[in-house]
C-alpha cells in the first residue's frame, strides 16, 4: 500500500510539472493532436440516439472555422452539455436511539421500606406505587399539629373581642380631647381679657397717686397762709388800740421769738432722724414685698405640679382597673390549660406500650438484616471478576480502533490521489469510485471499532454498576443492620421519651396550677393597685387644694408688703413735712424777730394803716380757711381714688390668676384626654398585636399541619410516568434516606432518534418533516422531526436533530446506532463529475462554461449531494455547457474551441 501511495505521488508530481512548467508545450501538443483526434468517420455518433440530446454533426465549414479559430489563439477544450434534473434532497446523517424520558426516582424522607419490590423490566403506569416507607410517628405528629391548629383557632375570637373593646374606647377618648381643646380658647380669652384690665387699673392708681402731692401742696400753702393772716389781723388789731404798746410788746416778744427759734432749730434734728428712720424702713418693706411676690410663682408651680400629677394618678387608676380583667383572663387561661395537660399526660402514658412493641419488633428484624449482609458480601467477588473481564477487552477494542483510523488515513490519501488523476478519463473516474468505496469502508470499520470500544466501555460501566450494586447491597445490608440497631435504640429512646412525656405532662399540670395561683395573686395585686391609684388621686387633689391655699397666702403677703411699703412712704412724706415745717418755723421765728424790730421802727406807720390792715387781714383769713378746706377735700378724694384703683388692680390681678388657673386646667384636661387616647390607642395596638399573634400562631400551626401531611405524602414514591423499570425497586426493609434511589424508570414509546447535522445543511431541516431511520439490524422505521437545535455544538459545529418514532412493541432499545434520512424540499441540480469542479483566484468553488459565442464564463455553485456517480450541484441554469477538460487553462472571456463528449462518444 505504501508503494502505491509513493507511485501515486510521483504521478501527481509529474502531472503538476507538466501543467505548470511545461504548459506552453502541452497546449501546442493539444492543438496539434486535436484535429487528428476529431478526423474520424462521419458516421461515428452516439450509440444511444434516443437517450442523447441531438447534436448536429460538424460540417466542413465549421471545421474550417475551428481551424481558423485555433490559428487565432483559441484553446481547445472538452465540454459536456448538461440539463438540470429535479432530485430529492434528503439529509442523511448518522445517529442513535435515546429514551424519551429517563429518571431515577429518589426518596425525599427517611424510613424503612414496607412495600414489596418490583423487578427490573416490569411495566409501570404513571402514578403507580414504587416504594412505600414506614410512617413511624408521622401520624402522631400530624395529630399534634392539628391540635395546635385548633388551639390557635380558639384564641383568635378572644383576640378579636379585645381589639373591638379597645377600638370602642378610642372615640370616647377623642371626644374628651375635643371637649378639652374647645375649653382652652375660652380660658385663654378670659386670661387675655383679665390681662387687658390690669394696665388700666395700674394707670388709674398712678393717676390717683399723682394727685396727692398737688393736693398736699395746696393744703400746706393754705395752712401757711392762715397763721400769717391771723398774725396780720392780730397785728392790725393790736396796732389800732395801742400802737405804742405794740412797740413795747414787740420788744418784749424778741426774747420769746428767739426762744421759739431755738425750739424750732432743736426740732430739725428730730425730724431728720424720723426721716432717716422712715427711709431705712423702705428697703425692708420692699424686701418683704419682693419675698411675698417671689412666693407666688413657687405656689403656682406647686399648684401646676399637683394638677399635672392628677391625670397621671387617674391614668394609673385606669391602668390598674384595666389590669384586673387581664389577670382574670390569665386565671381562666391557666385553668383551661389543666385539662389539656391532663390529656397530654394520658397520651404520653398511652405511648409507652407502643414504644415497647416497636423495640420488640426491631430486635426481631436484626437476624434477617445480618443474613442480607452476608449475602451481599458474597456477591462482591463475582462483580469484581466481571469488571476485570470487561477491562481486559478494552486494549483489543482500542487496537481495532487504531487500525481502523490508520486505514482511514491510507484511504484518504488514495482518494486524494484519485481525485488529482480524475482528469485522465473514464478509467481514472473508476479508480476514484474505488478510492471512495475504500474510504467509506475504512470509515465503517472505524465506526465498528468505536462501537466495539463503546460496547467495552458499556460492559465496564455495567460491571462497575454491578460491583457498585453489590457494594451498595453490602452497605444497604449494613445499613439495615444499623437501622435495626438504631430502631432498637430509637424504640428505647421512645420509651424514655414517653416516660419523660409523662413526667413533662405532670410538670405542666403543676405549672398550670402554679399559673392559677399566680393569676389569683395578680388579681389581688391589680385590685391593690386600684386602691393605691385611688389614694394617689386623692393625694393629688389634696395637693391641689394645698397649692391653692399657698397661692392665696402668697397673694395676701403681697398685699401686706404693699401696705407696709405705702406706710413707710407716708412716714417719709410726714417726716419731710415736719422738717419743712420746722425749717419754716425757724424762718418764721427769725422773720418775727426781724419783723418785731421792724415793727418797733414802723409802729407809727402801721398805726395809720391798721384799720385798712384789719379789713384786709380778715378777708385773707376767710380765704385761707376756704383754701384749707378745699385742699383737705382734694386729699380725701385722692386717697379714695387710690384705694379704688388699688382694689381694681387687685381685682384685675385676681382675674388674671383665675384665668391662668382656667387655662392651666384646660391644658391639663387636654393632656389628660390625650393620655387617655394614647392609652386607648396602646390598648388597640396591644389588641392588634394579640390578634396578629393569634393569626401567626394559626399560620404556624397550618404550616405544621401542611408539613406533616407533606411528610406523610412523601412516604409513598410513585412512578412519574408510564414506562419500564430499568432497575429493581428498593428491597423490603431497606433504610431510605433523603436522596436514596428507589428505582430507575425509562420511557421508550415513542423512541427518540438523535443525530447531528452540519451547519451547511441544518437550514434544510424543518421541525415536523418526515424522516426515516435504518437500524443496524436492517429494520427501517419512520417518524417526524420533533426538534432542531438552535445552538451548535462548540466542538463539532453541528446541530442536534431529534425525531420521534412509534415503539409500541418496545423492540427498539435505547442506545442503538441508526442511519437517519430526513426529507427536504426537492431542487433542480446538475450531475457532474468531481473533476469538473475547480477553484477561482478568490478560492470559490465553481465551474467554467462555454457561452453561445464560444467564450469562457465562470459560475459559482453549491454542492447538493455527493454520490458515487458524481456530484449534484445547484446554482446553474437549467441547460449549460460545462468544460470538463481544460478548465484549469482558461479564464473568463477566453475564446475556446469546445469538443463535446457526447459527439465524441
Residues 6+ apart with CB under 8 A from 251: 596, 600
pLDDT value at residue 600: 66
The answer to whether residue 331 is domain-embedded is yes
The answer to whether residue 197 is domain-embedded is no
CATH number at residue 531: 1.10.287
Q: Examine the fold and report which residue of 480, 515, 541 is the final residue of a domain before the chain moves on.
A: 541
Q: Is the peptide bond before 813 cis (omega within 30 degrees of 0)?
A: no
**Rounded Cα distance, 256 and 348, in Å:** 133
Give CA angle at 611 (606, 612), nearest 5°.
85
Give CA angle at 168 (163, 173), nearest 5°.
120
As averages over each run of 10 residues, the pLDDT of the chain (905 residues) reads: 80 81 69 48 37 40 48 79 81 89 91 91 90 88 88 86 84 84 82 82 82 80 79 72 66 75 78 78 78 78 78 78 78 78 76 77 77 77 78 79 80 75 58 73 80 80 79 77 76 75 75 76 76 76 76 76 75 76 74 70 64 72 77 78 79 80 82 83 84 87 90 91 91 90 92 90 88 91 93 92 92 91 82 90 91 92 82 89 90 89 57
Strand partners of residue 623 = none
Please answer whether residues 459 and 392 qualify as being in contact, where contact means their C-beta atoms are separated by less than 8 angstroms. Answer: no
The answer to whether residue 547 is domain-embedded is no
Q: How far is CA 758 from the centre of its chain?
A: 48
Q: What is the DSSP string of 418-444?
A: HHHTGGG-HHHHHHHHHHHHHHHHHHH
Q: Examine the fold and report which residue of 541, 558, 592 is the final residue of a domain before the chain moves on.
A: 541
Of 877, 880, 757, 892, nearest in space to 821 by CA: 757
Instruction: Give the pairing of strands 845-850 and 838-839.
Output: antiparallel
pLDDT value at residue 47: 36
The answer to whether residue 415 is domain-embedded is yes
User: Looking up cell 397785728, which residue turns up?
Assistant: 235
pTM over 0.85: no
Strand partners of residue 896 = 75
State which H helix or E strand residue 490 sits in.
Answer: helix 426-713
Residues 6+ apart with CB under 8 A from 548: 303
Strand partners of residue 802 = 754, 787
Cα dihedral sign, 544-549-555-558: negative
The answer to whether residue 319 is domain-embedded is yes
State which H helix or E strand residue 3 sits in.
Answer: helix 2-20
pLDDT value at residue 605: 66
pLDDT value at residue 427: 45
**Rounded Cα distance, 767 and 799, in Å:** 13
Long-range contacts of 371-374 (CB under 8 A, 24+ apart): 372/473, 372/476, 372/477, 372/480, 372/731, 372/733, 373/474, 373/477, 373/478, 373/480, 373/481, 374/477
The answer to whether residue 322 is domain-embedded is yes
The answer to whether residue 451 is domain-embedded is yes
State which H helix or E strand residue 303 sits in.
Answer: helix 243-420
The answer to whether residue 156 is domain-embedded is no
At 230, list the grid cell. 391771723
Of 31, 23, 21, nearest in space to 896 by CA: 31
Q: Examine the fold and report which residue of 541, 570, 586 is the final residue of a domain before the chain moves on.
A: 541
Q: Which residues of 379-406 are buried (b: 16+ CB within 10 A; e: fewer)?
A: bbeebeebbeebeebeeebeebbeebbe
CATH number at residue 880: 2.40.30.170
Domain count, the chain: 2
Domain that holds residue 365: 311-541
Amino acid at each position: 500500500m505504501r508503494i502505491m501511495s509513493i507511485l501515486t505521488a510521483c504521478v501527481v508530481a509529474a502531472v503538476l510539472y507538466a501543467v505548470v512548467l511545461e504548459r506552453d508545450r502541452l497546449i501546442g501538443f493539444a492543438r496539434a493532436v486535436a484535429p487528428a483526434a476529431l478526423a474520424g468517420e462521419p458516421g461515428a455518433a452516439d450509440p444511444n440516439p434516443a437517450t442523447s440530446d441531438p447534436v448536429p454533426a460538424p460540417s466542413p465549414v465549421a471545421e474550417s472555422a475551428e481551424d481558423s479559430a485555433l490559428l487565432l489563439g483559441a484553446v481547445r477544450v472538452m465540454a459536456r452539455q448538461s440539463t438540470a434534473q429535479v432530485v430529492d434532497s434528503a439529509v442523511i446523517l448518522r445517529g442513535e436511539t435515546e429514551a424519551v424520558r429517563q429518571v431515577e426516582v429518589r426518596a425525599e424522607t427517611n424510613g424503612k421500606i414496607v412495600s414489596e419490590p418490583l423487578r427490573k423490566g416490569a411495566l409501570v403506569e404513571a402514578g403507580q406505587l414504587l416504594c412505600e416507607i414506614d410512617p413511624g410517628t408521622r401520624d402522631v405528629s400530624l395529630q399534634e399539629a392539628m391540635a395546635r391548629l385548633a388551639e390557635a383557632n380558639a384564641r383568635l375570637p378572644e383576640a378579636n373581642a379585645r381589639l373591638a373593646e379597645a377600638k370602642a374606647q378610642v372615640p370616647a377618648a377623642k371626644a374628651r380631647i375635643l371637649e378639652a381643646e374647645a375649653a382652652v380658647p375660652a380660658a385663654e380669652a378670659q386670661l387675655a381679657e383679665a390681662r387687658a384690665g390690669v394696665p388700666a387699673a395700674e394707670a388709674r392708681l398712678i393717676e390717683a397717686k399723682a394727685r396727692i402731692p398737688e393736693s398736699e401742696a395746696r393744703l400746706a400753702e393754705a395752712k401757711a397762709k392762715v397763721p400769717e393772716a391771723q398774725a396780720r389781723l392780730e397785728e392790725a388789731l393790736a396796732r389800732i388800740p395801742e400802737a405804742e404798746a405794740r412797740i413795747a410788746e414787740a420788744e418784749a416778744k424778741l426774747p420769746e421769738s428767739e426762744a421759739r427759734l431755738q425750739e424750732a432749730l432743736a426740732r430739725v434734728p428730730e425730724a431728720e432722724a424720723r426721716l432717716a428712720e422712715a427711709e431705712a424702713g423702705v428697703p425692708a418693706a420692699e424686701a418683704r414685698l419682693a419675698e411675698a411676690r417671689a412666693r407666688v410663682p413657687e405656689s403656682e408651680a406647686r399648684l401646676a405640679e399637683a394638677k399635672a400629677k392628677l391625670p397621671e394618678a387617674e391614668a394609673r387608676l385606669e391602668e390598674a382597673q384595666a389590669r384586673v380583667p387581664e389577670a382574670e383572663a390569665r386565671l381562666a387561661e391557666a385553668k383551661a390549660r389543666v385539662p389539656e395537660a391532663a390529656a397530654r399526660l394520658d397520651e404520653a402514658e398511652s405511648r409507652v406500650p407502643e414504644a415497647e412493641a416497636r423495640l420488640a419488633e426491631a430486635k426481631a428484624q436484626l437476624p434477617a438484616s445480618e443474613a442480607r449482609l452476608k449475602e451481599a458480601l458474597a456477591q462482591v467477588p463475582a462483580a469484581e471478576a466481571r469488571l476485570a473481564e470487561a477491562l481486559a477487552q478494552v486494549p483489543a477494542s482500542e487496537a481495532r480502533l487504531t487500525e481502523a483510523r490508520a486505514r482511514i488515513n491510507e484511504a484518504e490519501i488514495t482518494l486524494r490521489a484519485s481525485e488529482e488523476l480524475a482528469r485522465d478519463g473514464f478509467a481514472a473516474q473508476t479508480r476514484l469510485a474505488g478510492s471512495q468505496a475504500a474510504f467509506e469502508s475504512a470509515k465503517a470499520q472505524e465506526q465498528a471499532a468505536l462501537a466495539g470500544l463503546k460496547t467495552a466501555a458499556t460492559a465496564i460501566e455495567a460491571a462497575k454498576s454491578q460491583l457498585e450494586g453489590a457494594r451498595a447491597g453490602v452497605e444497604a445490608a449494613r445499613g439495615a443492620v444499623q437501622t435495626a440497631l438504631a430502631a432498637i435504640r430509637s424504640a428505647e429512646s421512645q420509651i424514655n421519651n414517653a416516660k419523660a412525656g409523662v413526667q413533662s405532662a405532670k410538670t405542666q399540670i403543676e405549672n398550670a396550677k402554679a399559673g392559677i395561683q399566680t393569676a389569683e395573686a395578680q388579681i389581688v395585686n391589680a385590685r391593690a393597685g386600684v386602691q393605691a391609684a385611688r389614694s394617689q388621686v386623692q393625694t393629688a387633689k389634696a395637693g391641689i387644694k394645698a397649692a391653692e391655699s399657698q397661692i392665696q397666702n402668697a397673694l395676701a403677703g403681697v398685699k401686706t408688703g404693699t401696705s407696709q411699703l405705702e406706710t413707710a412712704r407716708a412716714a417719709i412724706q410726714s417726716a419731710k413735712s415736719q422738717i419743712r415745717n420746722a425749717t419754716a418755723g425757724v424762718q418764721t421765728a427769725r422773720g418775727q424777730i426781724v419783723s418785731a424790730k421792724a415793727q418797733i421802727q414802723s409802729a407809727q406807720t402801721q398805726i395809720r394803716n391798721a384799720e385798712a390792715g384789719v379789713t384786709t387781714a380778715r378777708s385773707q383769713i376767710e380765704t385761707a380757711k376756704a383754701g384749707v378746706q378745699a385742699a383737705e377735700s382734694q386729699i380725701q378724694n385722692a386717697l379714695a381714688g387710690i384705694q379704688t384703683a388699688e382694689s381694681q388692680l387687685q381685682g384685675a390681678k385676681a382675674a388674671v390668676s383665675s384665668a391662668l388657673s382656667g387655662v392651666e386646667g384646660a391644658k391639663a384636661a387636654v393632656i389628660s384626654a390625650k393620655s387617655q387616647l394614647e392609652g386607648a390607642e396602646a390598648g388597640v395596638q396591644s389588641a392588634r398585636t394579640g390578634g396578629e399573634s393569634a393569626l401567626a400562631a394559626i399560620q404556624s400551626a397550618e404550616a405544621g399541619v401542611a408539613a406533616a401531611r407533606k411528610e406523610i405524602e412523601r412516604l409513598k414514591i410513585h412512578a412519574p410516568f408510564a414506562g419500564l423499570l430499568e432497575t429493581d425497586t428498593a428491597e423490603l426493609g431497606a433504610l431510605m434516606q433523603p436522596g436514596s434511589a428507589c428505582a430507575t424508570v425509562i420511557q421508550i414509546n415513542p423512541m427518540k432518534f438523535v443525530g447531528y447535522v452540519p451547519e451547511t445543511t441544518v437550514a434544510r431541516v424543518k421541525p415536523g418533516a418526515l424522516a426515516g431511520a435504518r437500524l443496524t439490524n436492517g429494520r427501517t422505521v419512520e417518524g417526524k422531526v420533533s426538534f432542531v437545535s438552535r445552538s451548535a455544538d462548540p466542538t463539532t459545529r453541528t446541530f442536534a436533530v431529534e425525531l420521534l418514532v412509534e415503539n409500541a412493541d418496545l423492540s427498539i432499545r435505547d442506545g442503538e446506532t441508526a442511519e437517519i434520512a430526513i426529507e427536504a424540499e426537492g431542487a433542480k441540480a446538475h450531475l457532474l463529475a468531481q473533476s469538473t469542479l475547480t477553484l477561482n483566484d478568490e478560492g470559490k468553488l465553481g465551474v467554467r462554461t462555454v457561452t453561445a459565442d464560444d467564450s469562457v464564463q465562470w459560475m459559482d455553485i453549491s454542492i447538493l449531494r455527493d454520490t458515487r456517480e458524481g456530484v449534484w450541484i445547484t446554482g446553474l441554469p437549467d441547460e449549460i455547457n460545462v468544460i470538463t477538460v481544460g478548465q484549469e487553462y482558461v479564464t473568463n472571456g477566453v475564446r475556446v474551441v469546445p469538443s463535446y463528449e457526447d459527439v465524441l462518444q
